[in-house]
Amino acid sequence: MTHNAGAALVMVVGGKNILSFGLATAITKLANSGKNAYANGILAGCAAGWLLLAIPLYFYMPRFRKWKAERSS
């Protein structure tokens, strides 16, 4: 399972950078127009969304790793 770790890391970091650039560009224009509270709300919503995606991974990833290890053995 770890033989694809490098490629997966490149994809995750690259995707994060693309999303961050797009979000930062949009938020900067929004904040410069005087809608700072709205821009902060968008950023808070994005953070909450990532948190909601991370919660199931926290609980199900050990079970998935165990299943994957049993299947490959």
Task: Give 64's contacts (C-beta < 8 A, 6+ positions apart).
Answer: none
pLDDT in tens, 11-54: 989 988 998 898 889 888 888 888 888 888 988 998 999 899 99
Please tell me the total count of domains within the chain. Answer: 1
Residue 24 structural domain: 2-72
DSSP 39: H
Cα(46)–Cα(7) distance, rounded to whole angstroms?
Answer: 25
pLDDT given for residue 5 in this prediction: 80
Q: Are the C-beta atoms of residues 1 and 64 closer than 8 Å to each other? A: no
